[in-house]
Amino acid sequence: MTAAQTPNPAEELRGAGLRVTAARVALLETVRAGDHLGVEAIASGVRDRVGHISLQAVYEALNALTGAGLVRRLEPPGSPALYEGRVGDNHHHLVCRSCGVVVDVDCAVGHAPCLTASDDQGFAIDEAEVIYWGLCPSCSEASSSAP
């Protein structure tokens, strides 16, 4: 493999020390093809690729892939967990309070962890997670045109 080639999902799984299965490959492909997907949507995408898979198997695979850093779990307060394939860049998210759409937004400022804590309490901080809340353009327009 040359430096210009990106590894395929099976190679990424092996590289992360994970067993390569059709379900894990399909799950990784589904998450990367989607946009902030919930578990049900991921399970549906995996089923479209490989047939039957239980929700428990999806949860277990997501846990393994998240632990290996191949998938990122996002947990907006008051919402079910969402998963995305964009990892390793410490980006943040915009969440619409009305329709729940989630959009990536690049790091707030500077290099990771992007934000400096006023008092780090002795922690070696390596990541900051920021969620910006508001109304997406569609919901904002709908709310301003409502009587």
131-134 sheet: strands from edge to edge = 102-105, 92-96, 131-134
61-99 pLDDT, tens digit each: 999 999 999 999 999 888 899 999 999 887 889 999 999
- Write down the pLDDT at residue 49: 95
Distance separating alpha carbons of residues 86 and 100, to the nearest angstrom = 19
Q: What are phi and psi of 58, to 5 degrees?
A: -65, -45
* Mean pLDDT, all residues of the chain: 88
Q: Hunting for tokens 């092996």 — which residue is that?
A: 14
Whole-prediction pTM:
0.82
- Write down the pLDDT at residue 108: 65
